Amino acid sequence: MTDQTTAASTARNELAEEPYPAAGYAWYVVGVLTLVYVFSFIDRQILNLLVRPIRQDLEITDFQMSLLMGPAFALFYTFFGIPLGRLADSKSRRTIIAIGFAFWSLFTALCGLARNFWQMMLARIGVGAGEGALSPAAYSILADYFPPQRRATAISVYSMGIYIGSGVANILGATAIAFFMSRPNWELPIVGAVRGWQVVFFVVGFPGVFLALLMYTVREPLRRGMKKIQDAQGKLQNAQVPLKEVIAYLKLNWKTFACHNVGFALLSFSSYGTSGWVPTMFVRTFGWKEAEIGFWYGAIVAIFGALGISAGGWYADWLAKRGSRDAVMKVGFIVSLAWAPTGMLYPLLPNPYWALAFLIPTAFFTAAPFGVAPAAIQQIMPNAMRAQASSIYLFVVNLIGLGGGPMAVAFFTQYVFQDDNAVRYSILVVSTVAHIVSAVLLWIGIKQFNLSLDRLKVWNS
């Protein structure tokens, strides 16, 4: 055995014995990352509540609006996420997140300067590119702050930012609409006369440019389980896994990733399709004002979505402690079916208050899988590949979910039913089909996930 091999072996043993950071500070890190995630979802989802005024001022269709909600954001979010994920496996993760936070916040504010469809498209592209920096690095940080038996809970709490952010986007949007839409134009310094919806983008975007500095209160954690190499001075450094080795490991586990990524992506497809058009459904079907449905739907998503995603993580950790090593996949399968009774009924109900009541359990079960899904990636990947695998997961889940969900609902409304008031039936068709196919894939994926856990043991040895 060479000196270099001995040093690397010793380093791995020392690394394995090093305790995890204090629980109090680890949960502080979760809190900071969750706050950043909340802002990311406010910035990406605020558009959903502004459909009517943006359509009117930019003179665009439902389908064009869905392109701004989905592909304009999702395509660049996903494509930038992969190289940023690889960067996060070797460089400072907190710096990557801080720069990304400032970047997407600036472009959210620039949405308020859009005067036509293409300007809004470019601004949404910038929001998507910036947000690609966040979650791969955040998942990797949390995996190094928490032991395996607590990761699903920690990542699920972080992922509450999805639903808190979406809920706040609706509530804040409702409040802002009620205030800023009270008069046709606002006169602002530098930019001049703008519409009320444009002011909303300034209000939600600019604070994040400065809040990005909060990431520097987070210490970069020790990368656990990393292989070591000696540099020119004889010091041990983390070894970055060659890209071809990452690709080889992913190919070895392709069945697991196909079932996991596409299965959870279809649940995201249903979730984004729903959240993008439920406010509009209430406006068109029940004659509600945007401010009214924004408040109620935002409160439901923020409260019951957050409860659902944290409950999903807690349940997975509870099952894991009782010996179920594939708990994260089982939870995904269970909630994909549990959604059906209320998720299929609320779009059909004739009374808006009954529809809101049925949205409560629907929001809970819709949210439940999105903490366990990224936790599953951390469980089956070597440390040096986690952020890259997470970025691929986010690539698939956002390309299919965010990129396709809102667009699919708009497609059915505009081209199949050919009636703006049929949006409720479009939501029903899109979400039901997505959940059925997802349940099948996740059920198949449970066996493949266990095989991948066995392969990880061999790789680590």
- Return the CATH number at 124: 1.20.1250.20
Can you give the residue range of the structural domain that contains 107? 21-222+243-460
User: Which band of pLDDT confidence, cut at 50, 70 and 90, is reported for residue 238?
Assistant: low
- For the four alpha carbons of 190, 194, 200 and 201, in that order, the dihedral sign comes to negative
10 is a domain residue: no
pLDDT of 287 above 50: yes
Q: Which residues lie closer than 8 Å to 208 by C-beta, 6 or more apart?
A: 39, 43, 101, 102, 104, 105, 108
117 is a domain residue: yes
- pLDDT tens across 119-171, in order? 999 999 999 999 989 988 998 899 889 887 788 788 888 888 878 877 877 78
Tally of CB atoms within 10 A around 165: 28
Domain count for the chain, please give it.
Answer: 1
| Percent of the chain with pLDDT strictly greater than 90 | 42
- pLDDT tens across 95-121, in order? 999 999 999 999 999 998 998 999 999
9 is a domain residue: no
379 is a domain residue: yes
431: its two tokens: 């979400």
Q: Give which of 371, 407, 377 is closest to 389, Cα–Cα.
A: 377
pLDDT of 42 above 70: yes
Q: Average the pLDDT over 163-185 and give the result.
A: 76
Better-predicted residue by pLDDT, 144 or 362:
362
Q: Average the pLDDT over 206-220 and give the result.
A: 93
CA distance 363 to 356: 10
72 is a domain residue: yes
Instruction: Compute the mean pLDDT over every residue in the chain, rounded to the nearest whole number.
Output: 85
0.85 cut: is pTM over it? no
**Candidate ranges 18-32, 43-57, 71-85; pick with highest mean pLDDT:** 18-32
227 is a domain residue: no
Q: Average the pLDDT over 384-401 and give the result.
A: 83
User: Which band of pLDDT confidence, cut at 50, 70 and 90, is reported for residue 241?
Assistant: low
Check residue 228 and give its pLDDT. Answer: 52
CB-CB contact of 266 with 438 (8 Å): yes
pLDDT of 268 above 90: yes
291 is a domain residue: yes
Tally of CB atoms within 10 A around 265: 26
User: Which band of pLDDT confidence, cut at 50, 70 and 90, is reported for residue 3?
Assistant: very low
402 is a domain residue: yes
- pLDDT tens across 321-355, in order? 888 999 999 999 999 999 999 999 999 999 999 99
